[in-house]
Chains A and B, each alone.
Chain A
Amino acid sequence: MSRTIIVGGGPAGMSAAVEIARAGGDAIIIDSNPRLGGQYWRHGPVAEFSYDGERFVALQAEINNHPSIEVRASTQVWRASYQDGVATLWLNDGTSLTGETLLIATGAYDRSLPFPGWDLPGSMTAGGAQAILKASGALLGRSVFVAGTGPFLLPVAASLVEAGVKVLGVLEANRVNGWVNHLGAVDVRKMKDAVRYFKILSAAKVPIRMGYAIIEARGDGRIEEVVIAKVDRNFTVKPGTVEVHKCDAIATGWGFTPDLTIAHSLGVSTDVHPIDRSVVIHVDAFQETSQYGIFAAGESTGVGGVDLALIEGRIAGIAIAVQRGLISTVEAKNRSVGLASERSKIRKFANALLSVYKIREGWRSWLNPETILCRCEEVTFKQVRNVVHDLGASDVRTAKLLSRCGMGMCQARVCGRMVADVIGAEIGAPATDDELRGIHNRPIAHPISLQTLADQGQ
């Protein structure tokens, strides 16, 4: 019971584990990936990185050297609960874990926007394209477009170029000027990274087009061409700017969605982010949530990147050590020097980025009536409009239950937020904070074998 359970073995979970172990505590890291590192440091059987690998190697070495840290990889949490001060996780191998201290470090995944053809094979998220490349060198295609919004598009395009993919263009829907200067003001490492990406892309003559978006993908059974267009500041297509290009794959990304499934099951309070209205875990200065003993760090408390995740993980790890009585508060202060101010500096910058790379509502004009919104249940824009205007659905939940939008296997992880925005626009009232929170309500976090379930009852 004294062991801290860490859900997620990315930067936040790893750095927290190390702090706990340094203080003499025990921790177990659960991760669905076969290896530590999360999405940022995803890698194959050999830990090779084209850049920023040193920090991972150091963290992993320390974790390996601490017998008090157990790592359980390739393991999924299918259900979580918090009752009377004890958290319980049920794992897909049929076992369960309980603990009085738990860290949520579940990270985030790509936010997607639909457009005609986004469900064709060859269409991947930007993060997905990078994940398969990092994990095993797999390429999503030979000639691709990278599109969407956000600084993440650049490293994705750069790593594809380095892997030999012909990147036909990077399309940034927002008009962003001089953001590299902002970067430099905050962090030299980020500045260097950005310069490196631009160098790779310009050497490969990859056009970076601001204010452009992919508005349609076409092909017979897989992507063969894309329609791109210039969009205005609201993301509405500018007439007369449409171009058609041959390609065999696309990678699109529109920022990230914090993964709150486990957090929701544990009953922690959440905030709706004032800038992008994403749902994030509410934490105090020590990264503790509204539930005693439940901490959170990294993207699940608000998207902020690897540096913020590492710092939040450290702060959480140190706070956990204090709560478990492993170190004094004086010792904790010594170990935390500079962390809090660094956290607020990066957080401020992350919020500035969120404002610059906001999703503007004109994206809905790219939809046609037959565009699939819910990939799992194959629900179209027309069907969602129909349950609102013909059947009288007047809120997100009813529209979802009547149309089956978001009722499929991904449990609205992909379409939930976007559909809430579509329904809100159709009804004429934006989704409420509680409706946005409700998207993350998944009492069964991942499908679990009925046989495994039945065997548990022996």
Chain B
Amino acid sequence: MKTADVVVIGAGVVGSSCALIMAEAGLKVIVVDRGPIAGGTTGAGEGNIMVSDKEIVPEIQLAVRSRNAWFEIADRIGNNFELQAKGGIALSRTDAGMAGLRALASHQNAHGIETIEVDGARLRELEPHMNPEIETAIHYPGDGQCQPMLSAAYFLRTVRHLKGEVWQRTEVLGFSKDKDGSIIGVRTSKEEISTRYVVNATGTWAGDIARLAGSELSIMPRRGFILVTTPAPKLIHHKVYDADYVANVASDSPELQSSAVVEGTESGTILIGASRERIGFDSRINMAALERLAKQAISVFPVLSKLELLRVYRGFRPYSPDHLPVIGEDANVKGLFHCAGHEGAGIGTAPGSGEILTAMILGKPTFMDATPFLPKRFQGVA
């Protein structure tokens, strides 16, 4: 039987962030995943480290701290994961839309997010290829980007160097508890691990792990998909978010109310992501959504009409009933800590989430009031 201070279930960005921060705090960590490294949602994400899209105060606090934590991690372990502070731009071409963006920006600004309203001339400096008809936007210097799979892999590499272990292709079969119902071990397909603390960082599968431990947690999948263009010289410098829906009155289909997020990557490809798509576990490509995204992206950057679509990739974003992440100890099972349901923000807010959990496990104060994230908001207290 193995012994660990903490067993982290899930080798995505969220699990590997938790494992990294805990290992750095001196804890002996074993990461267990039924698949390979970053085999789930992490492998199908853009690598968003965004502050610009956060609206609710606790989410803003988590995002701001996490954003800074990303760069601190890069300083500590080396930036091998294409982390860059590229900045974001949110735009709207309607007066009502801009009014909405301004109101959000002033709210965000009051909570520590840097926001700058920019005019057409400044926009052209920031994004020379942007449609000249767009004359105003909000610039968010704090938005960043990373390569999520490389991030998870390098975090876990550091964990291994800190005497932690990473068990891939290892299924969690059950939990051992003492007579008070507290966790004392994890049974896996490989071998049993004696531990007092378990972190459930399994994203869309977090509910399954909660049930396996005798509790419950409602985490649902939301489909996201990303268009990848053929490589081009650097054309787009920021994460550019078009807040206007492509209005389609004839259709009430939710995936047609898409908003494009357009950005360049280190490898030269351009990513066009759909910001809203609440649809089930159907992984087929929706042609209408694809066409609208292409159209909207070209309307922001006409130069994209000269590029081609190379790939489409799809993933399922885990979300909780109130769309806030679930971070903290299970209300029913002592020693089981959840860290899941980050929806589209899991990569960006992973380090802050890991810091909160590490503080909780070590009995230290958290950097923010984490009450809104506690799982007990959905769970009957035992």
Contacts and interface: CB of A to CB of B under 8 A. Distances in A.
A58 interface: no
Interface string B278-309: 00000011011011101101100000111111
A392 B311 contact: no
B38 A398 contact: yes
Interface in A399-425: 401-402, 404, 407-409, 411
Contacts of B188: none
A391 B295 contact: no
A79 B312 CA distance: 11
A448 interface: yes
B242 to A, nearest CB: 14
A454 interface: yes
B37 interface: yes
Contacts of A454: 291, 294-295, 298, 305
B39 interface: yes
Contacts of B288: 457
A456 interface: yes
Contacts of A451: 294, 298, 305-306
Interface in A365-396: 377, 387, 390-395
Name, among A397, A398, A453, the residue most crowded by chain B CB atoms within 10 Å (CB to CB): A453
B311 A444 contact: yes
| Shortest 9 CB-CB contacts between residues of A and residues of B | A457-B291, A447-B308, A454-B295, A451-B305, A453-B294, A391-B153, A454-B294, A398-B36, A450-B294
B292 A79 contact: no
Nearest to A442: B311
A450 B267 contact: no
A447 B292 CA distance: 17
B268 to A, nearest CB: 10
A402 B298 contact: no
A64 interface: no
B61 to A, nearest CB: 32
Contact of A443 (B285, B306, B308): B285
Contacts of B308: 447-450
Interface string B33-68: 000111100010000000000000000000000000
Interface stretch (B97-105, B154-162, B191-199, B212-220): B154-162
B311 A401 contact: no
Interface string A429-458: 000000000000011100111110110110
- Contact residue range for chain A? 20 to 34
A457 B290 CA distance: 9
Interface of A: 79, 81, 90, 377, 387, 390-395, 397-398, 401-402, 404, 407-409, 411, 442-444, 447-451, 453-454, 456-457
Contacts of A444: 309-312
Nearest to A457: B291
- Contact residue range for chain B? 35 or more
A256 to B, nearest CB: 25
Contacts of B230: 409, 447
B231 interface: yes
B111 interface: no
A79 B310 CA distance: 11
B229 to A, nearest CB: 7
A419 B39 CA distance: 19
Contacts of A390: 157
18 contacts: A81-B284, A391-B150, A392-B153, A392-B156, A394-B36, A401-B38, A401-B43, A401-B149, A404-B267, A409-B231, A409-B310, A442-B311, A444-B310, A447-B308, A450-B297, A450-B307, A453-B309, A457-B294
Contacts of B284: 81
A387 B38 CA distance: 13
A395 B36 contact: yes
A392 B169 CA distance: 12
Given A391-B37, A404-B267, A411 B307 contact: no
Contacts of B304: 450
A392 B160 contact: yes
B129 to A, nearest CB: 14
Given A391-B153, A398-B37, A443-B285, A450 B305 contact: yes
A402 B290 CA distance: 26
A407 B37 CA distance: 18
B311 to A, nearest CB: 6
A393 B36 contact: yes
A442 B39 CA distance: 18
Interface in B131-164: 149-150, 153-154, 156-157, 160
Contacts of A409: 230-231, 310
Nearest to B313: A443
Contacts of B168: 392, 394
A397 B36 contact: yes
A22 B150 CA distance: 57
A449 B166 CA distance: 42
Nearest to A79: B285
Nearest to B248: A457
A94 B290 CA distance: 13
A348 B229 CA distance: 43
A447 B309 contact: yes
Interface in B50-89: none
Contacts of B294: 450-451, 453-454, 457
Contact of B153 (A393, A397, A411): A393
B83 to A, nearest CB: 16
Nearest to A401: B149
Contacts of B309: 444, 447-450, 453
Given A394-B36, A447-B308, 18 more contacts: A79-B285, A387-B153, A390-B157, A391-B153, A392-B160, A394-B169, A397-B36, A398-B37, A398-B39, A407-B267, A443-B285, A447-B230, A449-B309, A450-B304, A450-B309, A453-B291, A453-B294, A453-B309
A411 B311 contact: yes
Contacts of B295: 453-454, 457
Contacts of B37: 391-394, 398, 402
Contacts of A411: 310-311
Contacts of B305: 449-451, 454
Interface string B234-278: 000000000000000000000000000000000100000000000
